[in-house]
Amino acid sequence: MSQTLTGPRLSPGPSPASIGARLDRMPIGPVHRRLTAAIGAGLLFDTFENNLSGTIGKVLQHKFAMDATTLKFVLASAFIGQFLGSLVVGRLADRFGRRRAFLFNLALYSGFSLLGAFSPNATWLIATRFVAGIGIGSEQALADCYLADVLPASRRGRFIAWAYTLAYCGVPAVGFAALWLVPLSPLGLAGWRWLFVISSLGSAVVWVLRRNLIESPRWLAARGRVAEAEALVAVMEAGQAGGRPTAAVAEAPAAVAPAQRVRGAFDPGLRRRTVMLWILCTLSVVGYYGFGTLVPEILAAKGYGIVAGLGFTALCFLGYPVGSVLAVPIVERMERRTLLVLAATAMAVAGLGFGVAGSPVLIVLLGFGYTLCSNVFSSVSHVYLSEQYPTEIRGGASGAAYSLSKLAAGSLPFVLLPVLQHDGADALFAVIAATTVVMVVAVLSLGGRTTGVSVDRVLSE
């Protein structure tokens, strides 16, 4: 969909509130589906990247003769970069627009993933993964904010869940791609290096697609550019019949309203949900990334070799897209908070079973169940986080919450690997279950209802 539109510039008559109301009552049409598909495609390569280092961690350790400490830095480097990216790029999205922020973050992680493919040593790999992580870290927060901006309230959860269904195809994709390519050297380049090349080229293709994204009408209206927002909404309404906009509305800034500061997330109407989100984002990654990042290490601790471990990992990872598909029909039928708690509890139970499982069949079944439950949880949590803040600070405030998840994920190899190495997989999943209990209590006691509520009404508790 092009940023350029037909029709004359309209006078700035409509209010930001009326822009949001029209977006909320708009029926789902081809415009929404194209936007959701473009966001989902970028998220696919984001999840591919997020799980890449963990999936081939044992391979990298062997190829570069890493000691345990160096491996931890390889696994953590991208997440530490993501911490910075979530903080910085989300604020850029509030100031300069969602579309420009998307193009920046995709270009950054596509370029440095390609550089990572040609790493001559572990130091180079750590450095490139760190910088790529700055781009990767902002992708999910930006995607959630953008989709919350443009989708109608009654279908917002369902379509964000569809975007993440496409996204999480990237997790089994990296698992099976690693299983296929690691033993090979196509064109004389080691198979593990091809995984970085694939991720980089895929992200570059998505960058081209996202050049044609429209800007968020809600963001334009919040910045005082109400006439431009009105023109975009009018074209979206006309596009429900399948039409495509083709000519231009200039992006010249009209009366630009000052951006609100991210510290507004601690205003009286938002403070409670901010505390809840920070706890949710910090603790949820212990179970989610704790499994995805460390599953090859867990399987190695159970006595399986590299190739067998990659095979089991790929099969377990099939649960990710299946879980996202299951979230689609239920995300609008149950209150988000309730669904989050149920999915997190099921994930903890499956993890405890995986920790003590000994037979290959039980390992695959419980691993599949774990990833399935974790992606019902993840899809709903992305919807829930996107609904918490007003448009003016949604990118920066959501990015701040996401940044805590990335910081926690970066610490996981240093915290959870020693537990696995000294006490075993059952102790590891006991730790994960304990953090899940704390997270569930926080969501139940501090979280509010959001299902079907307009994102323009988030200030009311």
Residue 14 is predicted with a pLDDT of 63
Residue 260 is predicted with a pLDDT of 54
Judge whether residue 376 has pLDDT over 90: yes
Q: How many CB atoms lie within 10 A of CB 405?
A: 29
Residue 17 is predicted with a pLDDT of 74
Q: How many CB atoms lie within 10 A of CB 225?
A: 26
Residue 262 is predicted with a pLDDT of 65
Structure tokens at 39: 């966001």
For the stretch 397-435, pLDDT in tens is 888 888 888 888 778 878 888 888 888 888 888 998 999
Q: How many CB atoms lie within 10 A of CB 29?
A: 16
Residue 426 is predicted with a pLDDT of 85
Structure tokens at 224: 């005082």
Question: Whole-model pTM?
Answer: 0.79
For the stretch 11-31, pLDDT in tens is 445 667 789 889 998 999 898
Residue 261 is predicted with a pLDDT of 61
Report which of residues 214 and 290 the model is more confident about. Answer: 214
Judge whether residue 254 has pLDDT over 90: no
Residue 15 is predicted with a pLDDT of 67
Interatomic CA distance for residues 74 and 246, integer angstroms: 46
For the stretch 159-177, pLDDT in tens is 999 999 998 888 788 888 9
Interatomic CA distance for residues 191 and 197, integer angstroms: 10
Residue 458 is predicted with a pLDDT of 56
**Mean confidence (pLDDT) of the chain:** 85
Judge whether residue 248 has pLDDT over 70: no
Mean local confidence (pLDDT), 35-62: 86
Cα-to-chain-centroid distance, residue 299: 26
For the stretch 101-122, pLDDT in tens is 999 999 999 999 999 999 999 9
Let me know: does 172 contact 321? Beta carbons within 8 Å.
Answer: yes
Mean local confidence (pLDDT), 425-446: 91
For the stretch 134-147, pLDDT in tens is 988 889 889 999 99
The closest of 293, 290, 269, 291 to 129, measured between CA atoms, is 293
Report which of residues 165 and 240 the model is more confident about. Answer: 165
Judge whether residue 9 has pLDDT over 60: no
Let me know: does 375 contact 130? Beta carbons within 8 Å.
Answer: no
